[in-house]
A and B are shown apart, each in its own frame.
Chain A
Amino acid sequence: QVQLVESGGGVVQPGGSLRLSCAASGFTFTTFAMHWVRQAPGKGLEWVAFIRYDGSNTYYADSVKGRFTISRDNSKDTLHLQMNNLGPEDTAVYFCAKDGVGFGEFGNWGQGTLVTVSS
């Protein structure tokens, strides 16, 4: 079955950087677009970034544009999120999600990794 396992979360100081990873298994990674979605404490979900199945196109939420970079290594079935210039507003659980079979939905999710931005 589909498995998505995030890693790389932790505590980082404001202005710092962090790189998240998501190991995918149970499906043909190279044929699906992927996303990062986050949930700040006590808040709803927020879509963060999208990458096409072949990495040729990426899109970002305005809140992270210019600071975050989504990428994928199709040879290792792994998704990444490079986060730079982090601020307290980036504190959240970060989920990776696989595109669905329809259009516009997130078909499968990981359990998430917590990122805390604090001095």
Chain B
Amino acid sequence: QSALTQPRSVSGSPGQSVTISCTGASSAFGDYNYVSWYQHHPGKAPKLIIYDVSKRPSGVPDRFSGSKSGNTASLTISGLQADDEADYHCCSYAGSWVFGGGTKLTVL
């Protein structure tokens, strides 16, 4: 299963929106829509924020949304807040689990 590529860092001001991409070869996603996203504040437990490309677990605000087009999955965070500053990781399951390299989000 191929690797997934994420930008090393993104930034935005409070209230703005940011989008984090997650790109892979077609084999990275296979014929499945099992893409998930995790928010990770260093030193704490990672948190699932999106699964099955665009579904949100209970308790995750609708400011977080996911999508996928072709070989690129995306996470959009709208109405940025200071607490959104964290690392974000995409993951795809296509017979095995593979993660992207992670993206550091800075809230300016």
Could you tell me if B45 and A104 are in contact, using CB atoms closer than 8 angstroms? no
Could you tell me if A44 and B34 are in contact, using CB atoms closer than 8 angstroms? no
In the complex, B65 has a CB within 8 A of chain A: no
In the complex, A100 has a CB within 8 A of chain B: yes
* Least CB distance, A49 to chain B, in whole angstroms: 10
Docked Cα-Cα span, A100 to B52, in Å, equals: 10
Q: Chain B interface residue count: which class?
A: 20 to 34
How many A-B pairs fall under 8 Å by CB? 76
Could you tell me if B99 and A100 are in contact, using CB atoms closer than 8 angstroms? no
B102 contact set on A, CB distance < 8 A? 43-45
* Least CB distance, A33 to chain B, in whole angstroms: 12
In the complex, A47 has a CB within 8 A of chain B: yes
Docked Cα-Cα span, A100 to B102, in Å, equals: 20
Which chain A residue shows the least CB distance to B44?
Answer: A111
Chain A residues 58 to 99 lying within 8 A of chain B, measured CB to CB, are 59, 61, 95, 97
Stretch in B11-19, B70-78, B90-98 with 4+ CB within 8 Å of A: B90-98
From known contacts A102-B55, A105-B51, A109-B45, infer whether A45 and B34 are also in contact, taking CB-CB under 8 Å: no
From known contacts A106-B36, A106-B91, infer whether A44 and B100 are also in contact, taking CB-CB under 8 Å: yes
A50 contact set on B, CB distance < 8 A? 97
* Least CB distance, B73 to chain A, in whole angstroms: 13
From known contacts A44-B102, A45-B102, infer whether A104 and B48 are also in contact, taking CB-CB under 8 Å: no
Quick one: which of A59, A105, A109 has the most chain B CB within 10 A?
A105
Docked Cα-Cα span, A104 to B57, in Å, equals: 14
17 CB < 8 A contacts A-B: A4-B45, A44-B6, A44-B100, A47-B97, A97-B46, A101-B57, A102-B34, A103-B34, A104-B36, A104-B52, A104-B93, A105-B51, A105-B91, A106-B38, A106-B91, A109-B38, A111-B44
8 more CB-based (< 8 A) A-B contacts, given A45-B89, A104-B51: A95-B46, A100-B36, A100-B57, A103-B93, A104-B97, A105-B36, A105-B48, A106-B36
- 9 smallest CB-CB distances across A and B, nearest first, come from A104-B93, A104-B34, A47-B97, A105-B36, A105-B51, A44-B101, A44-B102, A45-B99, A109-B45
